[in-house]
A and B are shown apart, each in its own frame.
Chain A
Amino acid sequence: MISCYNLHIAHPTGERPLLDDISVDISRGEFVEIIGPSGAGKSLLCSIFGLRRRVPGAKCIVVGRNTERLAASKIPQVRQKIGAHTQRPEFLEERSLLQNLLLPFIARGQVAGALQKVQNRIASTALQALAEVPMSGLSAGQRELASIFRALVGEPELVIIDGGLQGLGELSEDAISALADVSRAGATVVLAARELSPCADLRTQVIRLESGRLISVERRAAAEKYGESESQPAEVL
């Protein structure tokens, strides 16, 4: 699903590189967590995986397409297969939560049945009661949860959650449940955070970053799933 080789991004003022020779390989259907402290390069990596930025000269394959050779006109087609949540999610503030959750379907031009899909996805979650509330009326946690659901609702092949689930508080259960659903449905999930998430049973790979460098890659076959306590790196780079 994602293969990047020797990613290197220099710091604009000449300090340590922002990404230093990072190679990543994520297979289809994996649940991958990218872990590292603030400034480790997690968000930068997520923006590259999410086709928000492109590193000139770097070979990076996302959703089966080599981004280096990807024509500008073809980028939207690839991006339609990606659902992304960022640390500072943007919304159409004057529009309702429901309208904001419909954006992935509108972007693809698949409006028929979209409303039903969105309502089914937020059913029995904290968002259900907020469906008609304008985004400006939601709390920070609710907005974060809404952004995560917006990334999932279009049933993308690749889900990128940058910022983890820490800010959700008691709402994190809804997010974990939804992430588990899409992961079991076959989507690839990339979760970037400072710490490991409570999704131990879903996790197949942990990538640790620090100061732009790859510290370790811990893999486990999807069938085995492992938790934090029993984590034994299968492969350490």
Chain B
Amino acid sequence: MLRPANDALKDKLFESLSATSVLAFSMLIPCLIAIFGVFFADTARSYLSAYRPVVYLSAEAGEPQAAALAEELGGWSGVAQVEVRAPSQAFDTLQERIGEQEVSRLGVTPKMLPYSLVLVPTLPLVGHVDLIARVEGLPARAHIATVDVPSAKAARTLIAARWLVTFGVAVLLVLLWVGIAQTRIHLMQLADDEAQEAHLLALFGAPGAEFRRATLTRGLTLGLWAGLLGSILLVLMLFIWHYARPAIFGLEDATLGWAWLIIVAPVLLGPAAGFLAAGLVNRKRLNRHKTDDLGLEILL
């Protein structure tokens, strides 16, 4: 090589920056989707985990029915524990919540309150969504008056967030491939520009590995630039999001700690993508021209 490998990137600065930008955005957009997906999932999970489904038995149902149902529901997947709440316990709870005077003013007695079952869900919370659906179907059975389950909105948000993360991963793969393809085109152009130099040096015994190494170096450099650019843009966007979120969602205390994992992802993904693009260039060049029209093996 007549000069350092990365000098070619500086010579074609506009093209190099274009390839870097495409690769950076190919990582940035999926990372943003993943971040929002994880955020919504986190919010929905917090809401759901603080909520426990309650099954209210009908007035005629007694302790035996409550115990039998508790045993049955305890066997469900997604249920860690079933707490049987007797009418007296429900009455105490009611008194705690609205006060003894108000309870006596309303004329409520323990006999007027039904047995109820409080379900403590297990983790992971994906099973919780299924549990909500099963509990919602319980009022169709005898001795069950009604149920109190988390809002379907939270459950739907959790499902949507789960899909958002999956979608983010799929978009990451597609866009990353676009970024790799763009980087590969640029690296191929740089290698073609040096084809004559490579040919002449090979004539005098320069190892082909030297040129392949130069392409790999350029690929890693472009990938690193793209990774750093992607991470910087992500940090800026998250800071804007951090301050804008309370105004939008009314949330003040949510943490962004998990987001750092996604922020550093481009720094690792970028060089890997650049290396892969360079490897594809080298592979294609290795496979070029093996024999001439005389059937002789071309060594140069």
Contact = CB atoms under 8 A, between A and B. Distances in A.
Interface of A: 9-10, 12, 18, 51-56, 72-73, 75-84, 90-92, 95, 99, 103-104, 106-108, 154
Interface of B: 1-2, 196-197, 199-208, 292-300
A54 B298 CA distance: 7
Nearest to A150: B204
Q: What 9 A-B pairs come out closest when comparing CB atoms?
A: A80-B205, A107-B204, A107-B206, A79-B205, A104-B204, A54-B297, A53-B296, A52-B300, A107-B201
A58 B199 CA distance: 25
B213 to A, nearest CB: 12
Nearest to B286: A72
Contacts of B292: 53
Contacts of A91: 200
B252 to A, nearest CB: 62
A53 B297 contact: yes
A76 B207 contact: yes
Nearest to A156: B204
Contact of B204 (A18, A53, A75, A103): A103
23 contacts: A12-B294, A18-B294, A51-B299, A52-B299, A53-B296, A53-B298, A53-B300, A55-B296, A55-B297, A56-B296, A56-B297, A78-B205, A79-B202, A80-B204, A80-B205, A84-B203, A90-B196, A91-B200, A92-B196, A103-B204, A106-B201, A107-B201, A107-B202
A9 B203 contact: no
A9 B200 contact: no
Q: Which of A56, A84, A103 has the most CB of B within 10 A?
A: A103
Contacts of A76: 202, 205-208
A108 B205 contact: yes
A170 B209 CA distance: 41
B296 A107 contact: no
A51 B204 contact: no
Contacts of B199: 90
Given A75-B299, A108-B204, 11 more contacts: A9-B296, A10-B294, A10-B295, A12-B294, A53-B299, A54-B297, A73-B207, A76-B208, A84-B203, A107-B201, A107-B204
Contacts of A80: 204-205
Contacts of A83: 204
A92 B204 CA distance: 14
Nearest to B197: A92
A82 B300 CA distance: 13
A201 B298 CA distance: 36
A81 B203 CA distance: 11
A51 B202 CA distance: 11
B200 A90 contact: yes
Contacts of B296: 9, 53-56
